[in-house]
C-alpha cells in the first residue's frame, strides 16, 4: 500500500472568521488533483460540517485528510466536551448551539446528518470531558 497524500490543519476554536478555511483548502487541493465534482462536493460538505462543529462545540481541534487511490479519509480530532448521546446528536434537527451561534446561521442540527449522508463510512469515538474523534471515508469511484 503506497503512502497516502496527507493534509493536516489546526482548527482554531476562537476564530469564527477563519472557520471553514481548512475545508476550502482541501477543496482546492482535491480540484487540483483532478477528482470528480461529486467527490469534491461530498468531501467539502463533510469536512466543513465537521470543522465548524469543532469550532462551535469543541473549541477547535485537528483535521487530517488522507488521499488514497480509492478513497479519501477525513479525521477530525478534538479535545472538547465529548458528545453525551451520539444517537441523539445524529438526529436531524438536534442542536445544542447557543443563541449567538444560531444568529450566524448555525444550529439547524443538520451538520452530523450531512456528514453521514455525504460519506460512505463514518465513525464517532467520543468520551465525555476527553474529546471526540470522527473518521469519515469517501470512496472514489473507479
Ligand X SMILES: Nc1ncnc2c1ncn2[C@@H]1O[C@H](COP(=O)(O)OP(=O)(O)OP(=O)(O)O)[C@@H](O)[C@H]1O
Size of the site for other proteins (CB under 8 A): 27
Please identify which residue in 12, 113, 135, 139 interacts with other proteins, judged by CB under 8 A. Answer: 113
SS3 content of the chain, % helix, strand, coil (to 5): 35, 30, 35
The DSSP H or E segment spanning 88 is: helix 86-90
C-alpha cell at 22: 481548512
By CB under 6 A, residue 75 contacts ligand X: no
107 binds ligand X per the rule CB under 6 A: yes
Kindly tell me which of 72 and 134 has the beta carbon lying closer to Mg ion: 134
> Which residues 6+ apart lie within 8 Å of 57 measured at CB?
80, 81, 96, 97
- Residue with smaller CB distance to other proteins, 101 or 125: 101
Binding site for ligand X (CB under 6 A): 49, 53-54, 56-58, 78, 80-81, 83, 89, 94-97, 106-112, 132
Amino acid at each position: 500500500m503506497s503512502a497516502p497524500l496527507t493534509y493536516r490543519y489546526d482548527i482554531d476554536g476562537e476564530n469564527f472568521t477563519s472557520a471553514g478555511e481548512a475545508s476550502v483548502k482541501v477543496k482546492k487541493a482535491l480540484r487540483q488533483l483532478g477528482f470528480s465534482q461529486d467527490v469534491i462536493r461530498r468531501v467539502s460538505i463533510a469536512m466543513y460540517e465537521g470543522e465548524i462543529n469543532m469550532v462551535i462545540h469543541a473549541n477547535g481541534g485537528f483535521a487530517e485528510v488522507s488521499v488514497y487511490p480509492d478513497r479519501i479519509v477525513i479525521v477530525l480530532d478534538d479535545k472538547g466536551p465529548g458528545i453525551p448521546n451520539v444517537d441523539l446528536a445524529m438526529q436531524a434537527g438536534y442542536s445544542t448551539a447557543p443563541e449567538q451561534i444560531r444568529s450566524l446561521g448555525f444550529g439547524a442540527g443538520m451538520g452530523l446528518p450531512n456528514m453521514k449522508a455525504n460519506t460512505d463510512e463514518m465513525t464517532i469515538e467520543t468520551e465525555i470531558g476527553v474529546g471526540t474523534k470522527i473518521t469519515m471515508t469517501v470512496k472514489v469511484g473507479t
